[in-house]
């Protein structure tokens, strides 16, 4: 059971985005993770930068390299900027699910979670002209909720999702089937559940922009790291994957409100250019990768 890449391709790369913009900040305010008075026009604008400036800049870089990405988009962002999301979809990018209002499954009841999934699907279908999302990434609510619930996998399968892009398997560069029903204890070994008909396409926070740049000072104030240092880390992970994990898959996890800033856009250009030097790298969306799965 594995992904089977197109003939002549040694490894795959997906450039993925969490199109959070301001939704993550407002969600954190809504659930009390940041205090009253933290959220006003200034912090809203930090997020809106992602939609108005970040996404167009990113699109330009991806078009230069003829790369199409996967955009995990909260429904409220699709409802607010439908023309932008439609443009991405029309250009062949994949629009995937990221909650309706960046809500994390672990902080919801089962009914709330189902409603959030359905509302997010409808918003994406409205914006894209009817393209139903097949992938999902869990929205992160620091610090108290960043996981799926006991209902998430069943809800996703009932709604026809093909994959979740998360830490749901033991691999960093390999797609695997999701295992449902694990039981964990504090005084004995865990009991493992059964594999289900849902793929995990792994993420890796070490090659994610907000760990490098964003979470250093507070939720709202970015830290400043040297882009050449970030490039070196991302490049070495790619080099390792290319040399040691043939048939593997490397994904960047980026955010328009973070990577859209000028020096980081230049870094995105550089890292794609570096990877594209290898003619046997397949740049793909996660949906395309999921479609290569062979049982
Ligand atoms: Zn997010």
What is the per-residue pLDDT across 157-173, written as a single tens digit (0 to 9) for each? 999 999 999 988 889 99
CA of 8 to the centre of ligand 1 (A): 34
What is the per-residue pLDDT across 91-112, written as a single tens digit (0 to 9) for each? 999 999 999 999 999 889 999 9
CA of 24 to the centre of ligand 1 (A): 6
Query: Which tokens is 244 given?
Result: 């040691």
Q: How confident is the model at residue 214 (pLDDT cuts 50, 70, 90)?
A: low
CA of 115 to the centre of ligand 1 (A): 18
Domain 13-294 has CATH 3.20.20.370: yes
Tell me how far CA of residue 291 lies from CA of 40, 280, 295, in angstroms. Answer: 43, 19, 11
195: helix, coil or strand?
Answer: strand
CA of 265 to the centre of ligand 1 (A): 19
CA of 294 to the centre of ligand 1 (A): 30
CA of 108 to the centre of ligand 1 (A): 16
Query: Which tokens is 101 given?
Result: 């209002």
Which candidate, 131, 136, 130, places its Cα nearest to that of 113?
Answer: 136
Instruction: Provide mean pLDDT across the span 66-74.
Output: 98
Task: Report the pLDDT value the prediction gives residue 222, as an integer from 0 to 100.
Answer: 61
Query: Which tokens is 189 given?
Result: 């070994």
Task: Report the pLDDT value the prediction gives residue 221, as an integer from 0 to 100.
Answer: 60
CA of 143 to the centre of ligand 1 (A): 13
Is the separation of the CB atoms in 202 and 165 below 8 Å? yes
Is the separation of the CB atoms in 106 and 52 below 8 Å? no
CA of 9 to the centre of ligand 1 (A): 30
Model confidence, pTM:
0.94
Task: Report the pLDDT value the prediction gives residue 210, as an integer from 0 to 100.
Answer: 72
CA of 191 to the centre of ligand 1 (A): 30
User: Where are the chain's structural domains?
Assistant: 13-294
Kindly report the average pLDDT of the chain as a whole number. 91
CA of 33 to the centre of ligand 1 (A): 15
Is a pLDDT exceeding 90 seen at residue 213?
no
State the sign of the Cα–Cα–Cα–Cα dihedral 101, 167, 147, 141.
Answer: negative
Strands 2-3 vs 293-294: parallel, antiparallel or unpaired: antiparallel
Burial 227-263 (b: 16+ CB within 10 A, else e): beebbeebeebbeebbeebeebbbbbbbbbbbbbbee
Please name the residue that has the structure tokens 């930068």.
Answer: 49
Is a pLDDT exceeding 90 seen at residue 179?
yes
CA of 74 to the centre of ligand 1 (A): 8
Task: Report the pLDDT value the prediction gives residue 25, as an integer from 0 to 100.
Answer: 84
CA of 157 to the centre of ligand 1 (A): 21
CA of 188 to the centre of ligand 1 (A): 34
CA of 264 to the centre of ligand 1 (A): 18
């Amino acid at each position: 059971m594995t992904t089977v890449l197109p003939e002549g391709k040694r490894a795959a790369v997906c450039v993925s985005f969490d199109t959070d913009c301001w939704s993550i900040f407002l969600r954190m305010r809504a659930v009390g993770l940041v205090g009253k008075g933290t959220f006003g026009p200034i912090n809203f604008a930090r997020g809106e930068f992602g939609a108005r400036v970040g996404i167009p800049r990113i699109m330009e870089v991806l078009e230069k390299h003829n790369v199409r990405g996967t955009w995990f988009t909260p429904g409220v962002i699709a409802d607010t900027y439908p023309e932008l999301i439609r443009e991405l979809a029309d250009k062949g990018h994949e629009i995937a699910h990221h909650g309706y209002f960046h809500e994390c499954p672990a902080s919801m009841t089962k009914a709330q979670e189902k409603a959030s999934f359905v509302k997010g699907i409808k918003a994406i279908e409205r914006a894209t002209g009817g393209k139903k999302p097949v992938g999902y990434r869990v929205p992160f609510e620091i610090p108290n909720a960043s996981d799926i619930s006991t209902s998430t996998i069943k809800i996703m399968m009932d709604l026809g999702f093909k994959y979740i892009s998360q830490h749901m398997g033991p691999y960093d560069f390999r797609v695997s089937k999701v295992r449902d029903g694990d039981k964990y204890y504090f005084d004995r070994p865990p009991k493992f559940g059964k594999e289900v008909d849902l793929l995990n396409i792994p993420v890796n926070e070490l090659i994610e922009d907000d760990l490098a740049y964003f979470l250093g000072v507070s939720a709202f104030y970015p830290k400043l790291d040297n882009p050449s240092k970030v490039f070196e880390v991302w490049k070495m992970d790619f080099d390792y994957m290319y040399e040691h994990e043939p048939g593997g898959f490397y994904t960047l996890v980026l955010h328009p409100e973070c990577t859209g800033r000028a020096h980081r856009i230049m870094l995105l250009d550089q890292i794609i250019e570096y990877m594209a030097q290898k003619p046997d790298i397949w740049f793909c969306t996660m949906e395309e990768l999921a479609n290569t799965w062979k049982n």
